[in-house]
Amino acid sequence: MAHRWKNDLTHDDVTPYNTYLNRRQIMAGMAGVGLAAMAGTRASAMTLEPNSYEDITSYNNFYEFGTGKGDPAKHAHRLTTDGWSVEIDGLVDNPGSYAFEDIMKNMSVEERIYRFRCVEAWSMVIPWNGFELKDLLDMAGVQSSAKYVAFETLYRPDEMVGQKFRSLDWPYVEGLRLDEAMNPLTIMATGIYGKPIPNQNGAPLRLVVPWKYGFKSIKSIVKITLTDKQPPTSWNKANAREYGFYSNVNPTVDHPRWSQATERPIGGGLFAKRKETLMFNGYENEVAGLYEGMDLARNF
C-alpha cells in the first residue's frame, strides 16, 4: 500500500539556498538532480516528487496573459521586469517604494528552497526559492493596528494581453490575515529550481501560500498594503458564492460546481489517477491553529 506524504517539516528543514547550490553542483549530470537538490534534511519523509521544470512553466493559471493553461507561457515573454519595485504602504513605519534589487540584497542571505505543493483542481509539487513574507514585512515595520495584508498585481495591458479583456476586474488583488502572512510557510518566491522565476509563473516576485488554493498566491506583485480592514480579492469580487476570502484547501467543502475531494496531478498524462485532496493541502499540523474555532464551511 502506498504511503501518502505527511507534512512534518518545520522551518529548520528547509534547504538553505547556498546548500542547494552546492548540492546541485555535486549532482550535476546525474538523473534526478532536482529531487536530490530540493530535499530537506528529512527528505526520506517526503514521498512526493517535484514536477519537472517544463511542467511547472508550461501549465499555468495567470489570466493576465489569457485564460488557457498554455496562454501564459505563450504570451508572458512580452512582460518586462527591469527596474521592478514594490510599493509598501498603509499601517507601516517605513512606507515607500522598495526596488526589487534592494529587496534581494537584503534577503539573499536568507533565501531558501521551499518544496511546496500547489493545488487547484489539479496539483503540482514545485521547488520554489525565495524568502519568508514576514522578513519583507518586518523591513517595512508593521504597526500594531494592522490586521490584514493586501496585495496588487502589475497592471500593464500592452504587455499583459489578458488584461485587455474583462475576464476579471483588473488589476488583480488578493489579501491575507496578518497572522497568515506572518506564518513561516508564507513566502515570496523569486525562482524555481534555483533559476529566476519565469514570467508565466509570476516574475519577478510572487506570493506562495501552500495551504490555500493557487489563486491566492498572487503573481507579479507591485503593491503591498497593511490595513485594519479585510481587503477585497479578485475572485471573491468576481463570484463571492464560489470564492471566499480564505480559500483554504478543504476537501470537505465542495465548490458549488464541482467536488474538491480529489485532485489531478500534473505530469502524469491525461489519464493520471486522481488523488485525495489533503486538508490544508497537507499542512494541517502547521496552520490549523490559525483557524481554531472558525466554521471552515462558512469561512471558505
- pLDDT for 28 beyond 60: no
Cβ–Cβ under 8 Å, residues 107 and 131: yes
Question: Residue 14 pLDDT more than 80?
Answer: no
Answer yes or no: are the C-beta atoms of 115 and 46 closer than 8 Å. yes
Q: How far is Cα 143 from Cα 94, in angstroms, rounded to an integer?
A: 10
Q: Say whether 201 sits in a helix, a strand or coil.
A: helix
pLDDT digits (tens, 9 = 90+) for 236-270: 999 999 999 999 999 999 888 989 999 999 998 77
Q: How many CA atoms lie within 13 A of 198 on its CB side?
A: 19
pLDDT band for 121, please (50, 70, 90 cuts). confident
Q: What is the pLDDT of residue 13?
A: 41
Average pLDDT in the chain? 87
- Omega prior to 196 cis, within 30 of 0: no
Which pLDDT score is estimated for 47?
55
Q: What domains can be seen in the chain, in order of their start residue? A: 51-290 (3.90.420.10)
Question: Does 40 score more than 60 pLDDT?
Answer: no
Question: How many angstroms separate the CA atoms of 94 and 91, rounded?
Answer: 9
Give CA separation, 130 vs 10, 84, 204, 247, in Å.
16, 16, 11, 23
3-state secondary structure 36-85: HHHCCCCHHHCCCCCCCHHHHHHCCCCHHHCCCCCHHHHHHHHCCCCCCE
Rg (CA), the chain: 18
The pLDDT score that the predictor gives to residue 270 is 73
Beta carbons of 182 and 146 less than 8 angstroms apart: no
Q: Does residue 148 contact residue 228 with C-beta atoms inside 8 Å?
A: yes
Q: What is the pTM of this model?
A: 0.86
Give residue-wise pLDDT tens across range 142-170. Answer: 999 999 999 999 999 999 999 999 999 99
Pull the grid cell for residue 6.
Answer: 505527511
Helical (H) or strand (E) element with 135: helix 133-140
Work out the average pLDDT over 101-119.
90
Please give the average per-residue pLDDT across 16-33, as a whole number.
38
- pLDDT above 70: percentage of residues in the chain: 84
Whole-number Å distance between alpha carbons of 276 and 261: 6
